Structure 1
Amino acid sequence: MNVTRLFDLLDNYIENYPDQDAALVCKREGAWKKFSICEYVELTNDLSYGMLALGIQPGDKIGIVSSNRPEWNMLDFAAMQIGAVSIPIYPTISQNDYSHILNHAEMKMIFIEGKELRTKLKPILPEIKTLKEIFTFSDENSEYKYLDQLITLGKENRQPDKLIQLKASIKPDDLATIIYTSGTTGSQKGVMLSHQNIVSQLKSLESIPAKWSNKALSFLPLCHAYERMLVYLYQYLGMSVYYAESLGTIAENIKEINPTMMSCVPRLLEKIYDKLYLSGKKLPFFSKIIYYWAFNLATKFQLEEMGWYYNIKYKLAEKLIYSKWRAAIGGNFDIVVSGGSAIQPHIASFFSAIGMPVFEGYGLSETSPVIAVSQRGENGRKFGTVGLPLQGVEVKLAERDEIICRGHNVMLGYYKDPALTAQAIDNDGWFHTGDTGKFTPEGQLIITGRLKSIFKTSFGKYVNPQAIESRFTESAFIENMIVLGENKKFAAALLSPDFIYLKSWCNKHKIKYSTNAEMIEHPAIVKRYQEEIKHYNQFFGDFEQIKRYKLVPDEWTTADGFLSPTLKIKRNVIESHYADAIEKLFS
C-alpha cells in the first residue's frame, strides 16, 4: 500500500508481512516477550477506541513519558490514527521542564511509566488545567488508571467505522507529533512535524538496509527524533524491533538476539573500542603483538580498494582476531548507525573492519531528523563524513559555513512560537541548523562544529571546542570534557575522568584513595593527566592548545542534567555549575 501517514505503517506491515510473529519484542521477567504484528495492530486499535470513549478529539495532545517499550509504539500510533497529536517526553528531565511542556502543549491525556516517574510528576499534575486523563502502565497499587483498563475500555467500545472515518480524514501534511527538544542550551522548544515530514524520510532511506537485515536492537530513547524515525523505518521494512532492557545490558542483549541493525552514539562505540584495546594488555607477549597488529590494521581500513598487501593482512587478521571479537560482541551486523555527534574516522574504520559497518547520519529534530546520511552506492559512504544529503533535501553552506537545508524534512515550525520559527526558517524556506560544515569534492558532508560553540580568544583567533573535545576524549583517561576561552587569552578545559578506568589504573599502580576528589589530587594522577594533555595538545595549533585545565570529581550524566539524552555535554549547565572553578582557570 502507499504509506502517506505514519499510522499507515501498520496497514502496510499487515499487508506485506502478515506472518511476522515478532514485530515488537521486550524482556519481561527474564524472558523475551514477542508481540506479533496482528497483536500489535489489535492492541493499538483498542487503545484508539479507549481514547475515543474518553472523549479524545482530533488535535488533542497525548503525552508519553516512558522508556522504550512496545506500549510506547502502540500509544504513539493509537493517538495519531484518531487525529490526536503524539508528544513523547523524556523520562530524565526536571520537574520544571515537565511543568513547562505539559502546560505549553495543553496536554489532555498522559501516560507515565513506573513509580519513580509518577512520584516525580505527581506534584505538578494538578497544575495542568487541560489535563483530563492520567494513566500508568501497570496498576502497582497506583492511584491512577492503568493501561490495561484503557485497553478493556476500548474492547468494550469498539467503533471500527468511526476509526476508518477518522483515519481517512487525516492528511499527509497534518501535524502528527510535537517533539520538545532536549537540547544542550536548556530551552525546551516544541518542534512540530507532519506525517509527510517523517514518511518522506522512510521512503528516502528504505534502500539503505540490506534485504537480509531483519532484526533491530533499540536502546537510544524513542523520545529522540533520531531513534524514533529509525524504529518507524524498521517497521516499514518488516523488521523485528527488540528493545534492550537498559543501557547497562546492551552487550548482553546483543549476544542474546544477534541483531542485524542498531543505532548508537559515538561515545558507546568509543567505550567498546577502549575496552577491546585494554583487553590486549592482559595477553602473553607473542599474542599481544598479534593482537595490536590486528587492532592497528583495523583503524586503517577504508572503503575503497586497499591493495593486495593490505587485503592479505586483513584476511589473516580476520581469521585470527576479528572473527573472535565478533563472536564476543555477538553481532551479525548489516549496519550500525552512528549519530548525535561526530565519530572519529579511525573508530568508524575500526568497527567497519571488524564486521560492524558504521553508517553515519546527521540531522536535527527540526529536520525530521535526517539531513544527510551514509548510503550504499557510489560516494555514498566515506569515513569522516556523514554521507550525502538525503534525496529531496537541498543542503548548502551559508555565512560562516553554517549548514542550511530545504526540503520535505523541514518542520512545520515551533509550536506557539512564530517568531522563533521565523528565526530558524528564512523567507526562502531554508532551515538554519546552527552547525558548521564543509563538503568533500564528491559531495559528502563533513560536520566541523557548532556555530554558537565556536569562540574567539582575546587575540582574535577562532577556536572550535568540539573538535578539541572529540580528540581529547579518545583518551581512556577522559570521559568528558568542555573547552572554554571566549574572549580569554587562551583555551582552558574542565575534564571529567573515566573513573572506572582510572580506578583500575590506580589499583594497578597501588595508589590508595578514599574518594574521587582525593584520587584526582594524587601526585601520580596529576602527572599522568599532564602527560595526556601534552600528548593531545600536539594535534592542535598553539592558540587551540589547552593551557590550563581542571579535573573534576564528578561523572557527568543525563540524570544530573550535565548530558543530553544523546550524551552531548550541556554547556550552559556545566558552565553554571562550575562557574567558580572556571573563573579560577582564567584568573
Structure 2
Amino acid sequence: MAIETASKTAASAAPVPGAVPDQEADNLTLQRIYHWEKYRAKEIFLTQPIQGQIRDWTWEEAVDESRRMAAWLRAQHFPAGSHIAILSKNSAWWIMADIAIWMAGHASVAIYGSLTAAGAREQLEHSDSVACFLGHTDDKHITPDALPPGIKVIALPTIDPGPATPWDSIIEATPPMEESPVRGGDEVATIMYTSGTTGAPKGARHRFRSFTGFASAVTRVVGSSPDERMLSYLPLAHIAERALLEAAVFHNGFRLYFVETLETFRADLRRARPTIFFSVPRLLLKFQQGVYEKVPRRKLERLLKIPILNNIVRKKIVTELGLDKTHLAASGSAALPMDTLMFFRSLGLNMVEGYGMTETGITHTPKNGRSRPGFVGDAAPGVEVKIAENGEVLVRSSMNLLDYYKNPGALQGAMTEDGYFRTGDLGEVDPEGWLKITGRVKEQFKTSKGKYISPSLIEKQLSVHPAVEGCCVMGENMPQPFGMVTAAARLHSIGDDKAQLDAFAEEMKRLLTQVNASLEPWERMAFLVVTDEHWTVSNGFLTPTLKLKRSVLEGANAIWFEEWARRGTPIVLHLTRHKLPRTHPE
C-alpha cells in the first residue's frame, strides 16, 4: 500500500486538494510588497555591488523604481497577462523588474543567465515573450540584437544597452504608477523552466498562490523577522532561489544582498554576513575542500576536540567564510553528502536540507530548523505526500504548477488521477512524517545480473573526495556498475608526470575501495574511470543548475565502456588530452 503523510493544515483545504486555507488578500505577494513599502519605507531592502561601488535601495526607493517601470510597461499596451522575460544573472534590477511585471498585470518568464544564446532564444520564442529585461549573462553573444525580432528589450544597468532601451532612462522619464494593483491568487505569476536533466526544458507556470506557499514553507524554518539578511547568488530562474529567497524576502521583508561576479563572491559574502545562507551541494563541497586545503582534515578534527580552542577555531573558520552571523544554513537542489553536512555542523552551523521541485515548489523543510541527517524535513503546511508502490514520492498542494506552457500532454503524464505530482524521486517517510530521498526513478538501472542500482547514493560518497569535481555511476546491462569522476583540476596540475599520475591513481583506488566497502555486493563498482575532462554547462554535460546530464555523459563515452571493462583494472585514467585511456594496474 502507498504511504501517505500530510501536514495538519492540509485537511482543511477547500477548493484545491491539499491547499492551505484561502489566503487573506494581504498575504499574497504584491500585497506584502506594498506592506513593506509602507512600514519599512526607509529601511534598506537591496544592496548591489557594481563596478567597484555599492548601491543601496530602501524599500521605498526600490518599489518606486518598480512603479515607474510598471507604468512604462502599461504604456506599451501589451495584452493583459502577457509574458515578459528576465534574462540575466541575479541583481537588484532582476527583483525590481519582477515586481514591475506583476504590477503591470503581466507574468514574468525567468530565463537562466548561464544559457547559450541559442538556448535563451529558444525559451524566449517558446514562452511568447513580448518584452525582455536583459542583463549580464555568461554568453557574450546574448545581445539585444541577438534576441528574436519583435521583442522589446530593456537593458539593465549591468550591460551596455546598445540599441535597447536603458532601464535608467525609463526610470528617469516615467512618473511612478500611483495605484497599487493587486493580483489574485489564481492568476499566473511566472513561468520557470525545468533544468532539462531528462530532456528538453519545460515551462512550468505558477500562480501567485504558489509564492505564498513558498514563503510559508521557508518561514516555518527561519521565522519571519524582517531583520534577517540573505545573499542572492544562485540563479533566480531556479525554483530554489525563487522560493527560498525571493518569495521569503517579499513576504517577510528581509534585506537582500547580491554578488557582482564569481571573482567577487568571497568579498560580497563577507560584506553581506547573511543570517540565513542557502547553497547547493557542489558549492558547499568546495567550501569544505577549501577549508581542508588550509587546515588538513585530521588536524582540524583534533583541534575541534580540544575544549576552549575548538570555539576559537570554529569562529575563525566561519568568519573567514563570511558565515559568522549565520544562524541557519540550508542546502537544496540535490542530495548533500552526509560528510559535508556533518562538517558544517561541526563548525557550529545549523545546516539543514530541504526538498522541492520546479513543479511543486518547496514542499519539505525541517520545522524550526531541526535537523535529522539524511532527511529533508516534514511536509510544509498544506502539502500532502504519499509514496507510490514503486517507491516514488508523490506530492499534492496549492504550490503545484498550473501547467506546462504549450505542453498539456507532459502535465497529464506527470499527474496521478487524484492530483498528485509524480516527482520522479524515490523516497521513504518515517512515522514522524520526515522524508528521506533515496534516489531517482529514471536514474535507476539494471545490471546484467538483474539487480537494480540507485546511482545517486553511490555518487554522494564519491563526491566527498576533494579532487572529485563531479561523478556519475553507470553500467546498465553490465555485470557490475562502474563509476566515472572528473578530477580535471588535479590532473591538469599533474600534467604528464608519471610518478604523480601513479600516486593519484593509487589515491583514487583507495577511494574506490572505501566506497565499495559500504555497498552491497551487487552495488560495488567494478572500476573507477578518472577523467581530466571538464563537465560544464557550455560543453553540454551540466544543466544551468549544475546538474549532470547523465544521458549526454553516457552517450559521449559509450564507445569506451567495453574497453574499460576488458582492462580488468580498478582505476582507468581517461586523459582526453591523450585521446586514449590509460589504466592503472593492480
TM-score, normalisation: structure 2: 0.86
User: CA 1:521–1:565 in 2, change beyond 3 Å: closer, same or farther?
Assistant: farther
* Matching residue within 390, 414, 417 for 1:427: 417
1:575–1:582 Cα contact (<8 Å) kept: no
Local SS of the residue matching 2:552: helix
Relative to 1, partners in 2 of residues 1:521 and 1:546: Cα closer, same or farther, differing over 3 Å? Answer: farther
Q: Is the 8 A contact 1:97 1:188 kept in 2?
A: no
- What amino acid is the match of 1:58? A
- What is aligned with 1:553? 532
Are 1:252 and 2:267 counterparts? Answer: yes
1:450 aligns with 2:440: yes
**Aligned-residue offset at 1:329:** 2.0
Asked if 2 retains the 8 angstrom alpha-carbon contact of 1:98 and 1:121, the reply is no
Separation (CA, whole Å) in 2 of partners of 1:252 and 1:581: 43
Counterpart selection for 2:345 from 352, 365, 369: 352
Q: Output the CA distance in 2 between the equivalents of 1:124 and 1:7.
A: 33
Deviation at 1:583, TM superposition (A): 5.0
Report the Cα distance in structure 2 between the residues aligned to 1:294 and 1:87, rounded to whole angstroms.
49
Q: Is the 8 A contact 1:174 1:194 kept in 2?
A: yes
Q: Tell me whether 1:577 sits opposite 2:570 in the alignment.
A: no
Matching of residue 206 in structure 1 with residue 219 in structure 2: yes
Runs of 4+ residues deviating >6 angstroms: 518-521
Query: Within 5 A, what are the aligned runs for 1:112-191?
Result: 112-114=134-136, 117=139, 119-120=141-142, 125-126=147-148, 128=149, 131-138=150-157, 140=160, 142-155=162-175, 158-161=176-179, 164=180, 167-168=181-182, 170-191=183-204
State the partner residue of 1:300: none
Counterpart of 1:481 (choices 449, 456, 471) is 471
> Which residue in 1 is equivalent to 2:51?
29
Say if 2:359 is the partner of 1:366: yes
SS, match of residue 522 in structure 1: helix
8 Å contact from structure 1 (residues 24, 241) kept in 2 = yes
Instruction: Classify the secondary structure of the residue corresponding to 1:48.
Output: helix
Residues 1:458 and 1:80: Cα distance change in structure 2 (over 3 Å) = same
**Conserved 8 A contact 1:494-1:551:** yes
Q: 1:475 to 1:204 in 2, by over 3 A?
A: closer
1:342 aligns with 2:314: no
The code of the aligned residue for 1:381 comes to S
2:132 match: secondary structure: strand
2:517 is matched with 538
**25-34 or 357-366, which moves further after superposition?**
25-34
Q: Name the aligned partner's letter for residue 15 of structure 1.
A: K
The Cα shift of 1:503 comes to 6.2
Return closer, same or farther for 1:336/1:465 CA change in 2, 3 Å cut-off.
same
Q: How far, CA to CA, are the matches of 1:519 and 1:117 in structure 2?
A: 37
Q: Kindly tell me: are residues 123 and 451 of structure 1, through their superposed partners in 2, closer, same or farther at Cα, counting changes over 3 Å?
A: farther
How many residue pairs get aligned? The number is 539
Task: Note closer, same or farther for the CA distance 1:146–1:520 as it changes in structure 2 (3 Å cut).
Answer: farther
Indicate the residue corresponding to 2:428 in structure 1: 438
Whole-angstrom distance in 2 between the partners of 1:154 and 1:118: 30
| Cα distance change of structure 1 residues 490 and 213 upon mapping to structure 2, 3 Å threshold | farther
User: Higher relative contact order by CA 8 Å / sep ≥ 6: 1 or 2?
Assistant: 2
Correspondence for 1:405: 395
CA RMSD in angstroms comes to 2.5
- In the alignment, which of 13, 38, 47 is matched to residue 15 of structure 1? 38
Seen in structure 2, the aligned counterparts of structure 1 residues 146 and 117 have a Cα distance that, compared at 3 Å, is farther
Matches within 5 A, 1:483-498: 483-497=473-487
Deviations 1:492-526 (A, max 9, x none): 222101515x567x5xxxxxx36xxx779933333
Structure with the bigger percentage of helix: 1
Q: Which amino acid aligns with 2:330?
A: V
Whole-Å separation in 2 of the counterparts to 1:320 and 1:70: 36
- Partner residue, 1:97: 119
1:6 aligned partner: 29
Unaligned ranges ≥5, structure 2: 1-23, 567-586
Amino acid at match of 2:41: P
The within-5 A match list for 1:50-89 is 50-89=72-111
CA contact (8 A) 2:232 2:256 kept: yes
Identity %: 27
**How many Å separate the matches in 2 of 1:413 and 1:193?**
8
Please tell me whether the aligned partners of residues 181 and 189 of structure 1 are also in contact (alpha carbons under 8 angstroms).
yes
Secondary structure, in 3 states, of the residue corresponding to 1:385?
A: coil
3-state DSSP of counterpart to 2:201? coil
Contact 1:4–1:196 (Cα < 8 Å) also in 2: no
Q: How far off is 1:320 after superposition?
A: 4.1
1:222 to 236, 254, 269: 236
* In 1: Cα distance, 2:498 partner to 2:406 partner: 49
Q: Measure the CA separation in 2 of the matches of 1:116 and 1:270.
A: 23
Deviations 1:262-296 (A, max 9, x none): 21001222222222233224xxxxxx97633245x
Partner of 1:291: 300
Matching residue's letter, 2:466: A
Gaps of 5+ in 1: 282-287, 298-312, 507-512
**Hey, what does 2:8 align to over in structure 1?**
none
CA deviation string 1:349-400 (max 9, x = no partner): 3312323211211010101x211112217xx431211011111101110021
Determine helix, strand or coil for the equivalent of 2:222.
coil
How far, CA to CA, are the matches of 2:454 and 2:498 in structure 1?
31
In the TM superposition, what are the counterparts of 1:225-244 in structure 2 within 5 Å?
225-229=239-243, 230-244=245-259
Bigger mean CA offset, 172-181 vs 233-242: 233-242
How far is 1:476 from its partner?
A: 1.5
Q: C-alpha distance in 2, partners of 1:526/1:189? A: 41
> Which digits, 9 at most, give the CA deviation of each residue in 1:555-574, with x for residues without a partner?
21233332223322111222
SS at match of 1:432: strand
Displacement of 1:575 in angstroms is 2.0
In the alignment, structure 1 residue 318 sits paired with structure 2 residue 310:
yes
Structure 2 partner of 1:392: 382
Contact 1:449 1:464 in 2 (8 A): yes
For residue 125 of structure 2, give the secondary structure of its aligned residue in structure 1: helix
Post-superposition offset of 1:246: 2.9
